[in-house]
């Protein structure tokens, strides 16, 4: 009788353990706008980064860019959570100091120019909670047109004479944001 009770107890415990383990192994599917990162230098083995942005990459899927990044409205620079900018050395944007640290980066898209905003806000979803009082720096940059249409919103960095340019592209729209070393 004691052996039967022991076996029953062990079997019950084993069943419970398996059921907890099965719950822990459920994973969500791939997000429709997957998260990505771009950095400078872009070599992932180089630990001496100057700058990095973590953002989600929405896709056009037959839609117009103006439907997704509405002209004249603050945009989270991607999808889902607002894009996070990591500055690993003191830099400047439009003559304004951007100290080493983590920020949120937004844009106000326009037909001929975009306003880029660096904010102290962190851990925010979208641009719904954007607060202008937390702006660190702003710059207005011209829009150019690329020859190739990009389906997914994309960011890349490139060295410049005095710092690094953050290039953004989506559809045929192109924007370059100049960060200079402090």
| pLDDT, tens digit, 9 for 90 and up, residues 28-51 | 888 888 889 999 988 777 678 899
How much of the chain is in helix, strand and coil states, percent to nearest 5? 15, 50, 35
Mean pLDDT of the chain: 89
In a domain, 77, yes or no: yes
Phi, psi (rounded to 5 degrees) for 167: -100, 135
In a domain, 5, yes or no: no
Least Cα distance to 161 among 178, 138, 177, 143 occurs for 178
Instruction: Annotate 98-116 with b (16+ C-beta within 10 A) or e (fewer).
Output: beeeebbbbbbbeeeebeb
Question: How many domains are there within the chain?
Answer: 1
Look at residue 9 in the predicted model and tell me its pLDDT: 60
In a domain, 116, yes or no: yes
Residue 19 has pLDDT above 80, yes or no: no
Residue 10 has pLDDT above 80, yes or no: no
In a domain, 28, yes or no: no
Residue 18 has pLDDT above 60, yes or no: no
Query: CB neighbours of 8 closer than 8 A, spacing ≥ 6?
Result: none
* Position with higher pLDDT, 28 vs 134: 134
Residue 86 has pLDDT above 60, yes or no: yes
3-state secondary structure of 1: coil
Q: Which domain holds residue 67?
A: 33-181
Q: Cβ–Cβ contacts within 10 Å for residue 21, how many? A: 9
Look at residue 129 in the predicted model and tell me its pLDDT: 87
**This model's pTM is above 0.85:** no
In a domain, 3, yes or no: no
The backbone region for 59, taken as left when phi is positive above 0, alpha when psi lies in -120 to 50, beta otherwise, is beta
Residue 3 has pLDDT above 60, yes or no: yes
* Position with higher pLDDT, 2 vs 150: 150
Structure tokens at 159: 């060295």
Residues, the chain = 182
User: Distance between CA atoms of 78 and 101, rounded to whole angstroms?
Assistant: 20
In a domain, 117, yes or no: yes
* Position with higher pLDDT, 78 vs 13: 78
In a domain, 150, yes or no: yes
Q: Average pLDDT of 117-135? A: 92
Task: Tell me: cis bond preceding 91? Omega within 30 of 0 counts.
Answer: no
Residue 82 has pLDDT above 70, yes or no: yes
Q: What is the percent of the chain with per-residue pLDDT over 70, rounded to a whole number?
A: 85
User: Distance between CA atoms of 179 and 160, rounded to whole angstroms?
Assistant: 9
Structure tokens at 125: 């979803």
3-state secondary structure of 145: strand
């Amino acid at each position: 009788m004691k052996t039967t009770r022991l076996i029953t107890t062990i079997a019950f415990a084993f069943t419970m353990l398996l059921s907890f383990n099965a719950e822990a192994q459920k994973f969500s599917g791939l997000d429709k706008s997957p998260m990505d990162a771009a950095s400078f230098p872009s070599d992932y083995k180089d630990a001496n980064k100057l700058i990095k942005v973590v953002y989600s990459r929405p896709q056009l899927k037959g839609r117009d860019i103006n439907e997704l990044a509405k002209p004249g409205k603050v945009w989270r620079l991607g999808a889902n959570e607002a894009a996070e900018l990591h500055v690993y050395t003191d830099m400047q944007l439009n003559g304004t100091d951007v100290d080493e640290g983590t920020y949120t980066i937004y844009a106000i898209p326009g037909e001929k120019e975009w306003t880029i905003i660096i904010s102290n806000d962190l851990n925010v979803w979208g641009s719904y909670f954007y607060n202008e009082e937390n702006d660190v720096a702003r710059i207005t940059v011209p829009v150019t047109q690329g020859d190739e249409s990009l389906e997914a919103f994309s960011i890349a960095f490139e060295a410049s004479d005095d710092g690094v340019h953050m290039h953004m592209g989506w559809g045929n729209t192109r924007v370059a944001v100049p960060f200079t070393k402090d």
